[in-house]
């Protein structure tokens, strides 16, 4: 049965290669490198939650998009003052200020997207996703999910030390003759 032994040998070889590859990876631990944030992030609306619940983006050029994968209609709801946190003056066509809320248009289920009109300024923004079955239930949702967007301040550029302000290296005392 040479083919059986050959198949087993190939399987063991592949298993060893995968094990070594996993052992050499960082496994999600900090390897000393800065993790880069994505400027554009997609938040998935599901039946009972949003993923990720906390979305972190950089201040420069960020864009947040929600995609509705639930079977329901969905609406994103922020406090109205979040409208001033956008870098643009107008939040339409996907959002509108309605009394105490900044509301999105209705996102039909099965993968319809809503996108922020422009980047958000640095800060933390809580929101809710309302899920409902018919447009008449928009303000009486069957389910509410909470989410949060964190827009991080840009990191300051590292400053090179000034040559004049660098202390001189210690010198050895002069020897007496």
Parse the chain into domains and list their residue ranges. 40-152
Q: What does R_g of the chain's alpha carbons equal in angstroms?
A: 27
CA triple 81-83-87, angle to 5 deg:
130
Higher pLDDT, 11 or 62: 62
Q: In 10 A of CB 110, how many CB atoms?
A: 10
Kindly indicate the confidence band of residue 24, based on its pLDDT and cuts at 50, 70 and 90.
very low
**Confidence (pLDDT) at 173:** 59
Residue 23 has pLDDT above 60, yes or no: no
Mean pLDDT of the chain: 80
Identify the top-confidence range among 10-14, 91-95, 134-138.
Answer: 91-95
Please list the helix, strand and coil fractions of the chain in percent, rounded to the nearest 5, in that order: 20, 35, 45
Matching residue, tokens 């880069």: 36
Nearest to 64 by CA among 126, 128, 114: 114
Residue 55 has pLDDT above 90, yes or no: yes
Kindly indicate the confidence band of residue 158, based on its pLDDT and cuts at 50, 70 and 90.
confident
SS3 8: helix
Handedness of CA 126, 43, 94, 90 (dihedral sign): positive
Domain at 40-152, CATH class = mainly beta
SS3 63: strand
Handedness of CA 77, 79, 80, 81 (dihedral sign): negative
């Amino acid at each position: 049965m040479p083919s059986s032994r050959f198949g087993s040998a190939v399987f063991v070889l592949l298993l060893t290669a995968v094990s070594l590859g996993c052992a050499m990876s960082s496994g999600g631990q900090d390897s000393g490198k800065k993790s880069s944030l994505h400027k554009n992030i997609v938040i998935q609306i599901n039946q009972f939650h949003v993923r990720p619940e906390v979305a972190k983006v950089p201040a420069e050029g960020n864009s947040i998009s929600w995609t509705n994968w639930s079977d329901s209609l969905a609406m994103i709801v922020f406090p109205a003052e979040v409208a001033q946190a956008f870098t643009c003056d107008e939040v339409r066509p996907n959002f509108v200020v309605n009394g105490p809320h900044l509301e999105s248009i209705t996102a039909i289920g099965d993968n319809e997207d809503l996108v922020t009109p422009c980047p958000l300024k640095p800060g933390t923004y809580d929101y809710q996703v309302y899920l409902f079955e018919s447009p008449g239930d928009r303000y009486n949702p069957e389910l509410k999910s909470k989410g949060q967007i964190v827009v991080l301040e840009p990191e300051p550029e590292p400053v090179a030390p000034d040559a004049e302000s660098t202390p001189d290296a210690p010198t050895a005392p002069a020897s007496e003759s």
